[in-house]
Homo-oligomer: A and B are copies of this chain.
Amino acid sequence: MSAPQEVKVLFFDVFGTLVDWRSGVAREAKALVGAKGRQLDWLAFADAWRGEYQPAMNDIRAGRVPFCKLDILHRGNLDRILPRFRLAGLEEPARAELNLAWHRLDAWPDVPPALLRLAKCFRLAPVSNGNISLMVDLARRNRFPWDAVLGAEYAGDYKPKPRVYLAAAEAFDCSPAQCMMVAAHSHDLAAAAVLGLRTAHVARPDESGPGTGERAPSVAVDIAAADLMDLADRLGC
């Protein structure tokens, strides 16, 4: 990286990059719905729920409907997939509780120690499509040392819309070049880079199951890291 000393703030994608949504959602669904005697492929259930994630944001990105927080979209997606798993009869309190599965995800093991290192060198904030309460619950659970919680709810739009990245930079009084977006997804990094942010890719090859994730970025990035400890090493932190 040519001028790492210029970077003042690191922005983090969260789902997939910092936390393992797949096993966490499967675990929570099994604990809540499985406890009622239902048996099914809980990883497939998690995959189906996550599969509705990007489409659900498109109407908001396109300006066809007003912004609402991700918890609301997750709930609509849950209602949509339940019949596919013969769970259309799941009652209301259980649906609301199940929707909080996304607030109870565990970090990949490298993340908490690496964030503590990185916090000594940079300001840190999630720039996620997850809402603030969701980010706070994940931070409390996994001890993420955020300086602020930015992202979709702060910007009122969803990544990869430019406003999400730019609002985060402005909140820290930084130019885009003073900010580095960290993500396991090339499309997220490509959107940040075009605005002038620095970018770091983190490999999460098993994000949606073994071998499904990006082992390496498919776009030009400033740093391609094996994990977050490797990123801290490369940033000299």
Q: How far is the CB of A71 from chain B (nearest CB, A)?
A: 7
Which one of B131, B140, B153, B172 contacts A147 once the chains associate, using CB atoms below 8 Å? B140
Among B71, B132, B172, contact of A148 (Cβ-Cβ < 8 Å):
B132
Residues of B within 8 A of A149 (CB): 147-149
A132: nearest residue on chain B (CB-CB)? B171
Q: Are A133 and B173 in contact (CB under 8 A)?
A: yes
Q: For A147, give the chain B residue with the smallest CB separation.
A: B136
Copies in the complex: 2
Interface residues in A112-155 by Cβ distance below 8 A to B read: 123, 131-133, 135-136, 139-140, 146-150, 153-154
Task: Check A148–B135 contact: CB distance below 8 A.
Answer: yes
Specify which chain B residues have a CB less than 8 angstroms from the CB of A153 in the assembled complex.
171
Chain B residue nearest to A100 in the complex (CB): B173
Interface residues on A, range: 10 to 19
Report how far A87 CA is from B150 CA in the complex, Å: 38
Docked Cα-Cα span, A171 to B136, in Å, equals 10
Residues of B within 8 A of A123 (CB): 136, 140
Closest B residue to A71 by beta carbon equals B173
Expressed in whole angstroms, the minimum distance between the Cβ of A237 and any Cβ of chain B is 16
Contact of A154 among B135, B139, B146, B154 (CB under 8 A): B154
Q: Which chain B residues border A147 with CB–CB below 8 Å?
A: 136, 139-140, 149
Nearest CB in chain B to that of A174: its residue:
B133
In the complex formed, the residue of B with least CB distance to A124 is B136
Residues of A within 8 A of B (CB): 71, 123, 131-133, 135-136, 139-140, 146-150, 153-154, 171-173
